[in-house]
Structure 1
Amino acid sequence: MLEENVFIEKVLPSGVLRQLTDAEMDAYRAPYPDPASRKPLLAWPREIPIEGEPADVTAVVRANQRTLAESSAPKLLLHGEPGAVIGAVEVAWCREHGRHLDVVNVGAGTHFLPEDQPDAIAAALIDWLRSSRGASRPGS
């Protein structure tokens, strides 16, 4: 992870349906020029909750789920297909449990959806913000 910059060199390109350009890859590489700068890229996957561990992160995920289910604030979920972290099962859960939630499929994509569907994401967000639900968000 640290020596070979695996997250940027392997994980990132494998989570995008299209091939990233050299310029795009260079932009992703820029903040992580050496092993010391890549330590956050190593720490981050260690925090992904699996089977309840780490417990503090699992608690945050559960609290977020409660907020999604209980909050009256308008919410928007953008997802792609086939998806990765947010796949069909997670989208179905959100549809069933999400209160004041709009769900929009922005098209084909996996883990790094903004790389595959930037225009669709922007359009969906603009449409939602202009909608009565998006316009009625707290603080507007």
Structure 2
Amino acid sequence: MQVLRTAEERFAQLPDFAYAPHYSDIAHAPGVTLRIAHIDEGPRTAAPVLLLHGEPTWSFLYRKIIAGLVAKGRRAVAPDLIGFGRSDKPAAREDYTFERHVRWMTDWLDATDLRDITLFCQDWGGLIGLRLVAAMPERFARVIAANTGLPTGHGATPAFDAWLNFSQTTPIFPTSQIVNGGSVRELTQAERDAYDAPFPDETYKAGARAFPALVPVRPEQASVQENLAAWGVLERFEKPFLTAFSDNDPITRGGERVFQARVPGAKDQPHVTIAGGGHFLQEDQPEQIAALIDSFIARTS
């Protein structure tokens, strides 16, 4: 496996992101070690809020939410998935599978030994994060799911089908353009540069290109059975489970209903719709999200 690592100087002078990175090494295979980066801000003695990003973003997506949580005395932990941000980037498309992503983050969670976790997950942060909840429910105190899902081969929205086709056929994968297009507000040039920073050229984007095709929207795809097994655990998950989908995301629209119907911990929760939010609602409504996480923890502790 060829592994690429983005030079640290590409992360200099990021707007609103003067957070020190922390690194964990995980063993992928004999002789192959992968480095995962994460942000850890706020009191280390506090229970962690785990903020999981998706495609094609990185922990920079949570910069203002991290600040909002820390201001409220919370601990915010935001890792970069393998292939993204400051984390290592295997160079071949075939290096990435759904199950490898779950294993990599399981090993990271074991290494950091986070417990009493409040999970906020969006996009692939939910596909991976909810698998972590199902595998290690004892580590999690509560969950907030936003613009995400845990698909089991039953099809996708037309918007996702269009995104899948674009992601697999475009000769240049325009990272910052994708994030800007999935946000309601217009990102600044400095913010766009931050989303491009992890990817010096197209060779670094194998993970970003692979992700859309790994979503198991057809019954014959890999990870359908594993996700079905995870749903079996989530259908017994009685800890607080809140949905906070945005009002302007055609890809995941309506996806909150399956969680509300099937997860026992979602019953009688004050589920919210984040108004004025696109697919990347963290860019559009970070202050509202930080306040929501804080109040959810306070109300359910």
RMSD: 2.0
- Does the CA contact (< 8 Å) of 2:180 and 2:186 recur in 1? yes
2:252 equivalent to 1:86: yes
Q: Which runs of 5+ in 1 are unaligned?
A: 136-140
State the distance in 2 between where 1:74 and 1:63 align: 20
Which one of 108, 127, 131 corresponds to residue 295 of structure 2? Answer: 127
Mapping for residues 27-42 of structure 1, pairs under 5 Å: 27-42=194-209
Pick closer, same or farther for the CA change 1:91–1:30 going to 2, 3 Å. same
Which one of 259, 264, 269 corresponds to residue 99 of structure 1? Answer: 264
- Residue of structure 1 equivalent to 2:135: none
2:286 equivalent to 1:118: yes
- Does the CA contact (< 8 Å) of 1:104 and 1:124 recur in 2? no
- Residue of structure 2 equivalent to 1:18: 185
- Residue of structure 1 equivalent to 2:242: 76
Count of aligned residue pairs for this structure pair: 130
Residue 3 of structure 1 and its aligned partner are, at CA, apart by 5.3
Which one of 12, 27, 44 corresponds to residue 211 of structure 2? Answer: 44
- Does the CA contact (< 8 Å) of 2:244 and 2:274 recur in 1? yes
TM-score normalised to structure 1 length: 0.80
Pick closer, same or farther for the CA change 1:63–1:77 going to 2, 3 Å. farther
State the distance in 2 between where 1:34 and 1:14 align: 21
Which protein has the bigger strand share? Answer: 2
Higher relative CO (Cα under 8 Å, sequence separation at least 6) belongs to 1
Percent of matched pairs sharing the same residue: 26
| Matched letter for residue 32 of structure 1 | F
- Does the CA contact (< 8 Å) of 1:15 and 1:112 recur in 2? yes
Pick closer, same or farther for the CA change 1:73–1:95 going to 2, 3 Å. same
- Residue of structure 2 equivalent to 1:138: none
State the distance in 1 between where 2:259 and 2:287 align: 23
- Residue of structure 1 equivalent to 2:3: none
- Does the CA contact (< 8 Å) of 1:69 and 1:98 recur in 2? yes
| Matched letter for residue 114 of structure 1 | Q
2:55 equivalent to 1:55: no
Pick closer, same or farther for the CA change 1:82–1:67 going to 2, 3 Å. farther
